[in-house]
Structure formats: C-alpha cells, structure tokens
Chain A
Amino acid sequence: MKRLLTMFTLVGVVGVLGLSTSVLASQFAIVGGKVHTLTGQGTLAEATVLIKDGKVEQIIAGSTSPRGYERIDAAGKVVTPGFIGAYTALGLVEVGFSAGQVDASTTNHPVTTIGAAVDVSYGINADSTLIPITRMEGFTTAVTGIESSDYLFKGQGAVIQLMDNDPLLKARAFMALSVNNASASDTGGTRGTLWVALKQALSEAEYAIDTDLSPTQPWYGMISRADAKALGHVVQGHQPLLIKADRKADLLHIIALKEAFSNLNVAIISGSDAWRVADQLAAANIPVIVNPEYNLPGAFDTLGATLANAGRLDKAGVKVAIGIETHNIRLATQHAGNAVANGMSYDAALASLTKNVAEIFGIDQQVGSLAPGMRADVVVWSGDPLEVTEAAEHVFIAGEPIKMQSRQTLLRDRYLNLKQDKPMVYTRP
C-alpha cells in the first residue's frame, strides 16, 4: 500500500494550525473524509482528523491541511475509530485444529478448581500472523480469551492492541463463563449443579476478599486460592463478568445473579433469546455481545435465534457489541452490516464495533471513539466499512500508520503471476 507522503502541505496550504514547517512522522492530517467520531460530535460529512504524538489531536469540520502534518487525502472516504474485536482468541491461537499448541484452551491443573485463575495475558503472541491479517482490515484492538475449557469458568481474558510490540493493552480485563446447554452438560450435567457451583464460587470469592489466602493459613473453599483472588475482582465489580447464555430462562437467572451480587458488572455473550428479555436487560444495564448472523436453532437453547436480535436489543436500549470470531474477526464489519440490513440503526452498528466494546471492557477512555486525547487508532476506509465490497486503506494504531501487508498479501503477490522462470520459492514479493 502506497503511503501518501506528500509535500503539498509545505507548498500549497497555509494551515492555521501549523505548528512546524517540517513534516513530522508522528503528525498526520487525515483530510476531508466522512468522519464517524462516535462521540457527541457525531458524524461529520467532511472533516479533518489531526494525529499527533500517538493521540487524536483534533477533529475539524471541513478539509484543512495544516503545515507540519503528513497529509492523508480522505476525500470521498470514510474515517472511523479503529474497530475492536469484541470477543476473540487473537494472539492465543495460530491454527486451532490438530496443529500444536493453542493457548486458547485449558486442561486441568491444581492451581485452579473452577478455571477462574487462568490468565491469558501470559499466552499472547505478538508474532501471530493473525495480527497483521486482522489489523490491516481496520481492527486495531481485540478482546481475547479462552475459547475452550473443561472448567466452569474460562478464566481471565485480556485486551490487546494489534501491534508488533507490547500487544497487551489491559491484562485481566474480564472473567468469562458459560451457562448454556453445552456448559451445563459439562458442569455436573445440569443447570441445577452449574448455578449452585457458580453462586458458591462467587460467595467464596466475596468471603475471601478479607481473608488471608497465604499458604500457611487454612482455606477450605471449593475454589482454589488463586481462583478466589481472581474472582475477588469480579465480585467487587472491578472486572466484567462475561456470561455466555442463550435461552430466556438462563438470561433471567443472570439478571437475578446481578441482583444477588450487586457489584457484579455483567455482560452477556451470544444471547440468542436476548431480544425476548430486552427491556429487563436494559433496565439491569447488562450489555450483550452478539453474533448477529446467528439465526438457527442449533440447540434447544437457541430456538429464538433471529437476525433481528441486535436491532431489537438496540431499540430497547441495550448496549450491543458485535464480533465473536477469531481468524475472521475482520468480518465483524459484515456481521454489523447484516445487523443493519435486519433492523439495527447504522449508528448503533458502528458503536457495536467501537465505543460499546470499549465501554464494556473499561477502555473507553483510550479507544473506541475519535476525540482529542484519545489514542490515535484511526482507519480510513474506501467507503462504508459495513459494505462487504469496501476495505480499509489506511490504518493507524497509536498514531503510527501500519504497513498494509500480511502473510496473506505476500502469498497473493507471490502467486499473482504463475509464470516464473524459477520455482515459486524464489519469488519474494
């Protein structure tokens, strides 16, 4: 991808905001695009986003090219905050199936009895090929966690920034759990066991907050000491508890759980039936992370699944996030577009990929919207990002333009011309 390094800023334009007469690599002006700020500033039909020192400096209506900023022409383009993968295993898995180590699944270990202590932040691999593949499509941040666990809890997930170095944006950003049919089957065989175990675990964690958990002291809890420490953050509301659930009855139990443990900060994953209890979820301030394309009765607890779920939830005032995938979390834009096609408002769909995700995970002061002082995670799209035929053209993470290249683009470029004098291994695109 060509970098639009232009000297026009030096010769042609008198920028009122010009701070310097030289182009600084860390200063960019994204000029003239339709800018979705995801803030009170709303959507600006034509605006300029200034990036400085890794942050959004300012968003100015109209097209302006201040001196000292490398100019990115965004006329006719769309500018958004970097999208956030709402629920992924990015950085924890390279190839999931029959291909060696996967840090997104757990097996038993005595450090935990219920899985809560597991901490994925140690498993994140910044060299994963999934990271360039994902970020060059406009996703700059991802929530990542355990996909598969034999335990009641799936442990503590993280938020990562899709950079080559220092990917960890927030360790122990959430706790995950599933209470759906599959999990009931794995946890004592019945919800009658699963829910008792869940409440017992949370109660023990509450008790443990003021307890000395050092090895010399007695602890007779069902959960391990490490679990108690981890869950302590959850019961105090410092760490969101993500609960995968689909059927109405399970969702009502979750609402009741939040009432019983009043500090809990709960979000629902999947929520096929969530539209049926949308008003209660809104009243209880429980957001839902959905796959809006899921509309099949894949199990007896997803009989209510419908493409209208995301739109109905949004209309009822529920905060919705979109994006449950890993290798193809980049397709969350398509998921959101289909939510719009099935009744969700466009603005809500964009928020479901950005601001809403950031709010659920407590990172909304850093990412998820474009405002002065926010991290400059900015994407310039060829057009409407929810259209399957449009693509990201420029991606900035923390103010730096990323190279629009991945292992996939290299494979493509190697094989675009099959007629080579030497074997393909000598073609280095």
Chain B
Amino acid sequence: MYNKNKPTWMLAAISTAMLSTLTLSACSDDSADAKAKSTATSEHVVINADPFPSTYEPIPAVATLITNATIIDGIGGLNTDSQILLQDGKIVGIGADISLPTKYIEIDGTGKFVTPGIIDTHSHLGVYPSPDTRSHADGNEMTSPVTAQVWAEHSVWPQDPGFQRALAGGVTSLQILPGSANLFGGRSVVLKNLPDRSVQDMKFPNAPYGIKMACGENPKRVYGKKGGPSTRMANVAGYRKAWIGAAEYKAKWDQYEADFAAGKDTKAPKRDLNNETLKGVLDGDIIVHMHCYRADEMVVMMDVMQEFDYQIGSFHHAVEGYKIADKLAQNNVCASMWADWWGFKLEAYDGIRENVAMVHQAGACAVVHSDSDIGIQRLNQEAAKAWSDGRRAGIDISKADAWQWLTANAAKSLGIFDQTGSLEVGKNADVVLWSADPFSTYAQAEKVFIDGGLAFDRTEPDTWPVSDFELGQIGEGDHK
C-alpha cells in the first residue's frame, strides 16, 4: 500500500508553489535566503528543477456553450440532453444551472457527445516523427542501458505532422516518452497538443516529469552484445545498481541540505544529471513509467519498487496485466494498455482483448494508450473495443466508466488530474465534441477545445493546423 514517503502525485500534481520553490536561484535575495546566508559562509546551491520552463499560451478563446449534448464527464457520469460552458479557459458550468456570460457562442450538440479531451500517456510523436528518417529519429539513446540524464523534450520536433493528426482524433494532451531500449531511458515530457515554434511552447504547465524505464526483451536485445544486460536477471541487477547509486546521491544532497540548514560550512555535492533524475523519483517528484509486458516481470519490478522505496506510476503496455490485476491494484500502479495488440514479440504473445477491462475490474487504474502515430488518432475506438470485449466476457462496465481509461486515469497517471482529464467545474476546458457516440467507429471528433480555445474544427477545413513540414507538400491541408 501507499507508503507515507511515497509521492502524492496520484492525488495532486506538484503544485506551482512547489515548482517555484525549486526554481529559486542561488542569487535570490528574498529574506529567508538572506537569513540563511548570514549563518553560512557559502551560498546555498539550489538546483533549478525547471530549466526549460513552459512557454505555453492558450489560443484565443470565446466563451462557448454546448447545448443538448450527451456529456460523458470522464469520472463515471453520463448525462443526456445536457450542456457545458467553457469560459476563460476553464469549464465553468455543466448541466442545468449555468450562469451565462453576456457574450458567448452557442453550439447545438443535438445527437452529439461531449467528453474530456483524450490524454495519451504513451506517444513518441516528435521524437520519432514523420517522416521516419534516421536524421530525425531521436527517441532512444541506445548508447548505454542507463541514460536517465536525457530528456525527451530535447528531441521533440514540434513540426511532426502527427500532432495535427492526433488532434483530429480528439487528443488534447500527451506524454512523449523516450524509447524502451534502456533500463532507464530518460525523462518524459507532458505536452499540450498545440505545437508551436518550440517544445517549450507545448509543455503542459506544472506537469511533473516522468522517467521511462523498460523491462524485458528490449534492453537485453540492444545491449546483449554491447556489454550487457543480456538477460532479464541482468536487467534487474541494472535497475538495482542504479537505485543504489541514486540513493547515495540523494543522501549526499540531503546531508548537504541538512548541514546548510544547520549553518555548517558545507559544499554542495557535484551535480550528476543521471542521478538527478533518479533522485527526483526517490523524492517523489518524478513519475516512473515502466515499459513491461510480462506479469512476472511486473511483479519483480514492484518488489524493486518496495526495496528502494519509490512508486511506479504506471506499467506501459502491460500486455499481461490481467494476470496480476489484483497486485496492480494493491500496489497502486496504473497500467497503460492497448486494446488488442499482441504477438509481435514473444513477451506480447499472451495479449488478450479483455486485458483493459480485467485490470479495471480488479480495481486497478486502467489506461488505454497508443504508442502509435496511427493508434493515437482513434483512441476512442480502442477504448470502445476494450469496453465491448469486457462486456462480452461478463465484465459489466458502463461507457461512462470506460471513458476514464482515456482521460481521468490517464491524467492521474501523469500527475495532471488536478488540471485536466474530466469535465468538472474549474478544470481546464480540454473538451471534445463528437459527431456521434464516440464508442462508434463512425464517430469523429468534430470540435476539439484546448483550454477553451477551438484547436480543431472538422467543419472548417481552412482552419486546420498544418505543420511546417507539410506546407507546400502534396496534400497540404487535405482531409487527413
């Protein structure tokens, strides 16, 4: 169960206040810092936890009222013939009692559905962009099995046309992960699906960082002839060795902080970017996203988690999640899964269609993810498949509950549920208006709002966003 030292991101993201504390620079002149300086001979060294800060700005928005629609709120509610008001970037009203501003536009949602914007917890858009060329394939630092020092955001190419395709599928936020060749692949980044000139323009404000880890076949295959690991047992030895090093690193910094606070003349430890990320996990600030297919490996990793006192946020792919769904629930670990991918490698051989529903049924946090620049475009259909497959197996889950797999649970696993992932008053207005029931193959995202701004309108082709790469190319602005 939850350890008191474990992070609290499942319930709330790192607060803005916390980030701003972390970003205090060494030359700060606020009074608390000045007081500290007066009792110590050295300056207080504080690591800037946010050296590439978000420069995201919502697109201009007008207050928008969607009426007469079926609203799936993403936390288990489904209301027919309802309405929702988006204003100043937030959801300000749902249902009958809405106080309307003086100026707003109204969209008739008759026959249509409204949901929270889809959040994909597993994407490589930007780091493995289209076109798929060696020159832009920047998703996997396959030079060492432990590369926690690399950050996916430094590989993201905002001109990947895949972002616009995902937007047309109703994706409003997404986590970009490094690949899975390494035991520790590096930091992930959570983005708003509004590409602009830089990755910082897309960064989801105040989203915690994640780290990609990987079980199984990939590390042993990639490093088997490059010094190891070449076996699963060496994979585990590799994680443990790294955590031992990270714990030592953390202890040094904790000692430094204690000594400094005590007024001792102390010197800050030397920075190490790899251990800095791992320490972030041990401190509960960085969420572990662990690529793992096999049930037995996931169970081993949950023991490693206990041994080093950190929390795995979610297993990714978790093709055998259904075999240990109870243990996922007990350990408070989410599983980000496909609906039906299987068999492309041996560790995916036991994939079944009911995986998502069975994990949900056991009380664990189930997420439907894509890991695909095609799949990300219709995650609603992936959830629909998982939902219907579950029902046919006797697992009775409502559509409203199933939608959690795409938004609320995804947001929880990314530590952004306080901001997005459900249609609740006060949440960011990340909203999709679907042409029909999104559990249907024929439904399409008709309008997609990000922070209340209309980011995609299927009915107005002239307004569709086009990446630099596609400008002047065949099919620019075509029906995609």
Interface residues of A (CB under 8 A from B): 94-99, 130, 248, 273, 276, 293-300, 303-308, 327-328, 331, 334, 337-338, 340-343, 386-391, 408-409, 411-412, 415-416, 418, 424
- Please, how many residues of chain B have a CB less than 8 angstroms from a CB on the other chain? 55
Known interface pairs A304-B474, A389-B440; A327-B322 also in contact (CB < 8 Å): no
When C-beta atoms are compared, the residue in chain A nearest to B324 turns out to be: A418
User: Which residues of chain B come closer than 8 Å to A389, judged between CB atoms?
Assistant: 384-385, 387-388, 439-440
Whether the pair B131, A297 counts as a contact (CB closer than 8 A) is: yes
Partner of B343, one of A130, A306, A412: A130
Partner of B345, one of A96, A306, A408, A409: A96
When C-beta atoms are compared, the residue in chain B nearest to A95 turns out to be: B346
Whether B195 sits at the interface, judged by CB under 8 Å, is no
Supplied contacts A299-B132, A391-B389, 4 more A-B pairs, CB within 8 Å: A297-B130, A297-B470, A303-B473, A411-B350
Whether B104 sits at the interface, judged by CB under 8 Å, is no
Partner of B473, one of A297, A412, A424: A297
Chain B 149-179 residues near chain A, CB threshold 8 A: 161-162, 165
User: Which residues of chain B come closer than 8 Å to A415, judged between CB atoms?
Assistant: 322-323, 358
Whether B227 sits at the interface, judged by CB under 8 Å, is no
User: Which residues of chain B come closer than 8 Å to A340, judged between CB atoms?
Assistant: 441-442
Whether B354 sits at the interface, judged by CB under 8 Å, is yes
User: Which residues of chain A come closer than 8 Å to B352, judged between CB atoms?
Assistant: 408-409, 411-412
A245 smallest CB distance to B (angstroms): 15
User: Which residues of chain B come closer than 8 Å to A409, judged between CB atoms?
Assistant: 352
Known interface pairs A95-B346, A296-B161, A416-B358; A328-B221 also in contact (CB < 8 Å): no
B181 smallest CB distance to A (angstroms): 13
Known interface pairs A298-B132, A328-B341, A408-B351; A305-B358 also in contact (CB < 8 Å): no
Whether the pair A96, B378 counts as a contact (CB closer than 8 A) is: no
Q: What string of 1s and 0s marks CB contacts (under 8 Å) between B395-430 and chain A? A: 000000000000000000000000000000000000
User: Which residues of chain B come closer than 8 Å to A97, judged between CB atoms?
Assistant: 344-346
Known interface pairs A95-B344, A337-B441; A295-B165 also in contact (CB < 8 Å): yes
What are 10 of the A-B contact pairs (CB < 8 Å)? Answer: A295-B377, A297-B130, A297-B475, A298-B132, A306-B480, A308-B478, A337-B442, A387-B442, A389-B440, A415-B358
CA distance A411 to B353 in the complex (A): 10
Partner of A306, one of B217, B325, B354, B475: B475
User: Which of B132, B358, B442 is most buried by chain A, counting CB atoms within 10 A of its CB?
Assistant: B442
User: Which residues of chain A come closer than 8 Å to B133, judged between CB atoms?
Assistant: 299
CA distance A305 to B374 in the complex (A): 12
CA distance A295 to B133 in the complex (A): 17
User: Which residues of chain B come closer than 8 Å to A130, judged between CB atoms?
Assistant: 343
Known interface pairs A295-B165, A299-B132; A388-B221 also in contact (CB < 8 Å): no
B357 smallest CB distance to A (angstroms): 10
User: Which residues of chain A come closer than 8 Å to B161, judged between CB atoms?
Assistant: 296-297
User: Which residues of chain A come closer than 8 Å to B23, judged between CB atoms?
Assistant: none
Whether the pair A416, B441 counts as a contact (CB closer than 8 A) is: no
User: Which residues of chain A come closer than 8 Å to B345, judged between CB atoms?
Assistant: 95-99
Whether the pair B480, A416 counts as a contact (CB closer than 8 A) is: no
B40 smallest CB distance to A (angstroms): 56
Q: What string of 1s and 0s marks CB contacts (under 8 Å) between B463-478 and chain A? A: 0000001100111001
User: Which residues of chain B come closer than 8 Å to A331, judged between CB atoms?
Assistant: 340
Whether the pair B393, A412 counts as a contact (CB closer than 8 A) is: yes
Partner of B441, one of A294, A334, A418: A334
Known interface pairs A296-B374, A388-B381; A96-B344 also in contact (CB < 8 Å): yes
Q: What string of 1s and 0s marks CB contacts (under 8 Å) between B316-342 and chain A? A: 000000110110000000000000111
User: Which residues of chain B come closer than 8 Å to A391, judged between CB atoms?
Assistant: 388-389, 392
CA distance A408 to B344 in the complex (A): 14
A-B interface contact total, Cβ < 8 Å: 136
User: Which of B345, B351, B392, B479 is most buried by chain A, counting CB atoms within 10 A of its CB?
Assistant: B479
Whether the pair B346, A98 counts as a contact (CB closer than 8 A) is: yes
CA distance A293 to B379 in the complex (A): 13
Partner of A327, one of B326, B343, B388: B343
Whether the pair A99, B346 counts as a contact (CB closer than 8 A) is: yes
Chain B 429-464 residues near chain A, CB threshold 8 A: 439-444
A307 smallest CB distance to B (angstroms): 6
A385 smallest CB distance to B (angstroms): 10
Known interface pairs A296-B130, A303-B473, A389-B388; A418-B479 also in contact (CB < 8 Å): no
Q: Top 8 A-B pairs ranked by shortest CB distance?
A: A337-B441, A389-B388, A327-B343, A97-B345, A303-B474, A304-B474, A99-B346, A296-B130
When C-beta atoms are compared, the residue in chain B nearest to A341 turns out to be: B442
User: Which residues of chain B come closer than 8 Å to A342, judged between CB atoms?
Assistant: 479
CA distance A328 to B441 in the complex (A): 17
CA distance A39 to B349 in the complex (A): 39
User: Which residues of chain A come closer than 8 Å to B362, judged between CB atoms?
Assistant: 418
When C-beta atoms are compared, the residue in chain B nearest to A386 turns out to be: B441
User: Which residues of chain B come closer than 8 Å to A337, judged between CB atoms?
Assistant: 441-442
A311 smallest CB distance to B (angstroms): 9
A31 smallest CB distance to B (angstroms): 22
CA distance A102 to B349 in the complex (A): 15
Whether B373 sits at the interface, judged by CB under 8 Å, is yes
Whether the pair B349, A95 counts as a contact (CB closer than 8 A) is: yes
CA distance A82 to B357 in the complex (A): 28
CA distance A98 to B220 in the complex (A): 11
Whether the pair B473, A327 counts as a contact (CB closer than 8 A) is: no
CA distance A409 to B322 in the complex (A): 13
Whether the pair A304, B475 counts as a contact (CB closer than 8 A) is: yes
User: Which residues of chain B come closer than 8 Å to A390, judged between CB atoms?
Assistant: 388
B471 smallest CB distance to A (angstroms): 12
CA distance A297 to B444 in the complex (A): 21
Whether the pair A408, B353 counts as a contact (CB closer than 8 A) is: yes
User: Which residues of chain A come closer than 8 Å to B474, judged between CB atoms?
Assistant: 248, 273, 276, 303-304
User: Which of A94, A299, A411 is most buried by chain B, counting CB atoms within 10 A of its CB?
Assistant: A411
CA distance A408 to B341 in the complex (A): 12
CA distance A331 to B381 in the complex (A): 11
Partner of A98, one of B221, B325, B358, B381: B221
B10 smallest CB distance to A (angstroms): 23
CA distance A341 to B469 in the complex (A): 26
Whether the pair A418, B442 counts as a contact (CB closer than 8 A) is: no
Whether the pair B473, A307 counts as a contact (CB closer than 8 A) is: no
B180 smallest CB distance to A (angstroms): 13
User: Which residues of chain A come closer than 8 Å to B221, judged between CB atoms?
Assistant: 98
CA distance A169 to B458 in the complex (A): 45
User: Which residues of chain A come closer than 8 Å to B378, judged between CB atoms?
Assistant: 293, 338
CA distance A341 to B378 in the complex (A): 12
User: Which residues of chain A come closer than 8 Å to B388, judged between CB atoms?
Assistant: 388-391
Partner of B344, one of A327, A341, A416: A327
CA distance A135 to B161 in the complex (A): 36
CA distance A308 to B458 in the complex (A): 14
User: Which residues of chain A come closer than 8 Å to B322, judged between CB atoms?
Assistant: 412, 415
